[in-house]
Amino acid sequence: MRNCRIQLALVVTLAAPPGAGALLAAPPQSAKPADSKTVARGKTEPAGPPRKRMVVDLSGFEMLDAEKLKQQRTQVGATRGAAKPVALAPYRARLFGIAPRLAWSYAGAEKQFKLLVRDAEGTVVYRAQVSSTELAYPSTVPPLAPGKTYSWTVEVSPTPRAPEPSDPLEFTFVGGKERTAIEAALKKLGTKRDYATVLARAKLFTEHRLWYDAIGEYCALLAQFPDRPELYEQRGMIYAQIDATKALADADFARADKLRSGPRPGN
């Protein structure tokens, strides 16, 4: 997904699936004490190598077996730099919220796109003309049905030589017992939009492997708190899970490192 155009310190621990356990963001390495002789001479220790980051495996955002996942990654890699839009989301994901944010990248000069959402039978349930590379699915259109699967594509608006549309990506609107469980957990968190509550929502959605929902909450947090490096770390960990958004992950990690190395807000 596009990095939201948002430049939205404690280390946040994000629960991982059984067996994955670890911190999403490895804590900064302790600085090596300066040599006493070096200090006496008034010299400065040379900067060490960039902080090594451990990207935790958050398997589950893409509901594919290993072979299909390998094929999809090959397809995504082949489209990089090509004159066709690339949807920035898992090949197949799950969705809880009614207004997912859909984002894509495009290397061409055109800025007008057509987004189509289809149901499992291929019927178009929503279409929109878009003049940016992202769109929040409107809550005013016919609601998505729990348990049903949908797909979405984006294409460049008609031009004399229009490129192919993006590869279709699927999402299943969560229903049944899992939806009931998520609703109960969200109710416990409350409806406040303060930092702690929204962060808890983002973590909950990540634990349930709800790509669009988790990314949406982190984007909302970064819009309000653009100088929190841990937020870029957490969102970057999600982006790092699929090839289509690896560049977004790198940008988030770089931003987090820059914030940590600079002066603290208010100093």
Map out the domains of the chain as residue ranges: 58-261
* Residue pLDDT tens, the chain, 267 long: 444 443 333 333 333 333 333 323 333 333 344 443 333 344 444 444 556 677 777 877 865 444 544 554 444 444 444 468 999 999 999 999 988 999 999 988 888 999 999 999 999 999 999 999 999 999 888 889 999 999 999 999 876 666 789 999 999 999 999 999 999 999 999 999 899 999 999 999 999 999 999 999 999 999 999 999 999 999 999 999 999 999 999 999 999 999 998 776 554
**Structure token pair of residue 34:** 């300066």
User: Is the CA virtual torsion 202, 208, 209, 211 positive or negative?
Assistant: negative
pLDDT reported for residue 51: 61
Contact 1, 171 (CB under 8 A): no
CATH code of the domain occupying 58-261: 2.60.40.10
Q: Please, what is the end-to-end C-alpha distance for the chain in angstroms?
A: 33
Q: What is the dihedral of CA 212, 218, 219, 220, to 10 degrees?
A: 110
How far apart are alpha carbons 236 and 251 in whole angstroms?
A: 8
pTM: 0.72
pLDDT reported for residue 50: 54
pLDDT reported for residue 1: 45
**Ramachandran assignment for 98, one of left (phi > 0), alpha (psi -120 to 50 degrees), beta (any other):** alpha
